């Protein structure tokens, strides 16, 4: 049994060049050397398919940074709130 996708999945990306390449098939000749997964994104993003939609998000607001970068405590807590993760108080820290 497989699930059907009802709506377009939005993927937030902090790289404008990537978004442009995915949306504009004219760039194909210049990007043949790029890995297959980028071409897969282009196919999924195509108007006929519309499985995904790439949208620009500034790097400082990229929520996934909490999983991939060492962040100052203030930024970590900001992204934690954006994710909806509650703060857990440890006895010594609260």
- Which is more confidently placed, 10 or 25? 10
- Residue range of the domain that includes 23: 1-57
Q: Are residues 8 and 28 in the same domain?
A: yes
Q: Are residues 6 and 34 in the same domain?
A: yes
Q: Are residues 50 and 64 in the same domain?
A: no
Q: What is the rounded CA–CA span in Å between residue 21 and residue 57?
A: 16
At residue 20, what are phi and psi to the nearest 5 degrees?
-65, -45
Asked whether the whole model's pTM tops 0.85, one would answer: no
Q: Are 27 and 21 in contact (CB under 8 A)?
A: yes
How many distinct structural domains can be found in the chain? Answer: 2
Instruction: Give residue-wise pLDDT tens across range 17-52.
Output: 877 777 776 655 565 556 555 556 666 666 566 778
Q: Are residues 48 and 6 in the same domain?
A: yes
Instruction: Give residue-wise pLDDT tens across range 70-94.
Output: 999 999 888 888 888 877 777 766 5
DSSP H/E element including 59: none
- Residues near 71 by Cβ (< 8 Å), separated by ≥ 6? 65, 79
Q: What is the rounded CA–CA span in Å between residue 80 and residue 72?
A: 12
């Amino acid at each position: 049994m497989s699930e059907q996708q009802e709506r377009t999945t939005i993927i937030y990306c902090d790289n404008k060049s990537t978004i442009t390449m995915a949306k504009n098939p004219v760039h194909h000749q210049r990007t043949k050397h790029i890995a297959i997964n980028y071409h897969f994104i282009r196919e999924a993003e195509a108007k006929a398919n519309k499985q995904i939609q790439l949208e620009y998000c500034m790097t400082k607001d990229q929520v996934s940074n909490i999983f991939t970068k060492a962040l100052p405590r203030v930024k970590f807590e900001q992204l934690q709130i954006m994710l909806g993760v509650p703060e857990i108080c440890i006895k010594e820290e609260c």
